[in-house]
């Protein structure tokens, strides 16, 4: 019998890599997807097989973290051994526009899922997608013992999720753990996060489809790793003998400015010729610097981030150039002309 896993947020960047990883390990994977008027499974379509196929091991179920009763019914029926809670309204800037919705999904959604695990009596292990945003205003380096000081409605909602996960571990003796992950990116990263916004723009500028890129605070420092490596860390956290929280990070900080150097420099462009400032991309309260100390994960899980930020920027720029060259975006599922049209509109959203 395969191990069964249930993943919320399976249609997102991390969910797609995690599903790929677990399928490669022989798991049966069940994912929660939201009903949408348009297809929202482009990141996992390459993994999907018709459920009538006897070899199908990926199954998708409609649901939402706002609907607790549905979560109980689903978990009771699926009876997974491992539950990964990756779903969230995950955009920090957007959380200032939609604080209540962010609290409901990114915060209260977690306790709905924990309660569903508890009430359905399945005894599954539970992973919570916690974040370096919890450290917020506390200066780097940050590790598992660093005091938390979130600086956004997103960070505050994730703070609740972090503590409620710990509380269920202590109160009910559940294997419930937090992976406190620093920023991780990839060609599957949503287009409104800063790295992908930059790499998509580099590809479009190089192709002559765009000339300017509007940005906010380019002095912010982040610890950027490669998402495909971080889902391996999530899995290892869930295989540990004891339920414990871990930070996953590269241990190196980079400014947005330096990321611009890497991305534009990779195709022989100078970002100073293209990047403009727009205050709409500033946050009311900013997180200036996040640089993780991943020593505990190195020592206890044998996990290391290998891809450095320059290589990451190059992987992402090459992928975005490839997407334009092949006329369709496999992660957005629209033809090239539509996609090129979308660049300014996508940018205007974050």
Would you name the residues annotated as active-site residues? 131, 133, 154
* Binding status of residue 253 toward ligand GDR by CB under 6 A: no
Least CB distance to ligand NDP at residue 106 (A):
7
Residues 6+ apart with CB under 8 A from 278: 214, 215, 216
Residues 6+ apart with CB under 8 A from 226: 184, 185, 186, 305, 306, 307, 311, 312, 315
Binding residue (CB under 6 A) for ligand GDR from 93, 125, 200, 206: 93
* Binding status of residue 216 toward ligand GDR by CB under 6 A: yes
- Gap between the Cα atoms of 9 and 87, Å rounded: 4
194 is in the binding site of which of ligand GDR, ligand NDP, none (Cβ under 5 to 8 A by kind)? ligand GDR
- Gap between the Cα atoms of 292 and 6, Å rounded: 28
15 is in the binding site of which of ligand NDP, ligand GDR, none (Cβ under 5 to 8 A by kind)? ligand NDP
The residue at minimum Cβ distance from ligand NDP is: 12
Least CB distance to ligand GDR at residue 9 (A):
11
128 is in the binding site of which of ligand NDP, ligand GDR, none (Cβ under 5 to 8 A by kind)? none
Binding residue (CB under 6 A) for ligand NDP from 58, 88, 124, 289: 88
* Binding status of residue 90 toward ligand GDR by CB under 6 A: yes
Structure tokens at 181: 């992950």
The residue at minimum Cβ distance from ligand GDR is: 220
Structure tokens at 9: 């947020």
For ligand GDR, the closer of residues 194 and 321 by Cβ is 194
For ligand GDR, the closer of residues 78 and 290 by Cβ is 290
Least CB distance to ligand NDP at residue 157 (A):
9
* Binding status of residue 283 toward ligand GDR by CB under 6 A: yes
By the criterion CB under 6 A, which residues form the site for ligand GDR? 90, 92-93, 131-133, 183, 192-194, 197, 215-218, 220, 222, 256, 281, 283, 286-287, 350
Give the interface with ligand NDP as residue ranges (CB under 6 A): 8-9, 11-15, 32, 34, 36, 40, 64-66, 86-90, 105, 109, 129, 131, 181, 183-184, 190
């Amino acid at each position: 019998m395969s191990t069964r896993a249930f993943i919320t947020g399976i249609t997102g960047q991390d969910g797609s890599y995690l599903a790929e990883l677990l399928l490669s390990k022989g798991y049966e994977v069940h994912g929660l997807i939201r009903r949408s008027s348009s297809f929202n499974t482009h990141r996992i379509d390459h993994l999907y097989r018709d459920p009538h196929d006897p070899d199908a091991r990926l199954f998708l179920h409609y649901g939402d973290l706002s609907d607790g009763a549905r979560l109980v019914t689903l978990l009771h029926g699926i009876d997974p051994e491992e539950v990964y809670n990756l779903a969230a309204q995950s955009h920090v800037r957007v959380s200032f526009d939609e604080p209540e919705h962010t609290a409901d999904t990114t915060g209260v959604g977690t306790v709905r899922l924990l309660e569903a695990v508890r009430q359905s009596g399945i005894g599954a292990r539970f992973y919570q997608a916690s974040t370096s945003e919890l450290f917020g205003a506390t200066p780097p380096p940050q590790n598992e013992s660093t005091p938390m000081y979130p600086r956004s409605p997103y960070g505050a909602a994730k703070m609740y999720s972090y503590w409620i996960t710990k509380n269920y571990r202590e109160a009910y003796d559940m294997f419930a753990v937090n992976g406190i992950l620093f920023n991780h990116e990839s060609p599957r990263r949503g287009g409104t996060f800063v790295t992908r916004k930059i790499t998509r723009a580099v590809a479009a500028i190089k192709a002559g489809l765009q000339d300017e890129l509007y940005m906010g605070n380019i002095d912010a420092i982040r610890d950027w790793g490669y998402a495909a490596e971080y889902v391996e860390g999530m899995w290892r956290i869930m295989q540990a003998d004891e339920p414990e929280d871990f930070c996953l990070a590269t241990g190196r900080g980079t400014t947005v400015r330096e990321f611009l150097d890497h991305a534009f420099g990779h195709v022989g462009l100078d970002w100073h010729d293209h990047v403009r400032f727009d205050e709409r991309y500033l946050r009311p309260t900013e997180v200036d610097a996040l640089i993780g100390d991943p020593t505990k994960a190195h020592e206890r899980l044998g996990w290391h981030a290998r891809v450095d930020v320059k290589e990451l920027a190059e992987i992402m720029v090459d992928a975005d150039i490839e997407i334009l060259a092949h006329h369709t975006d496999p992660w957005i599922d629209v033809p090239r002309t539509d996609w090129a049209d979308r660049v300014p509109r996508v940018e205007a959203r974050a």
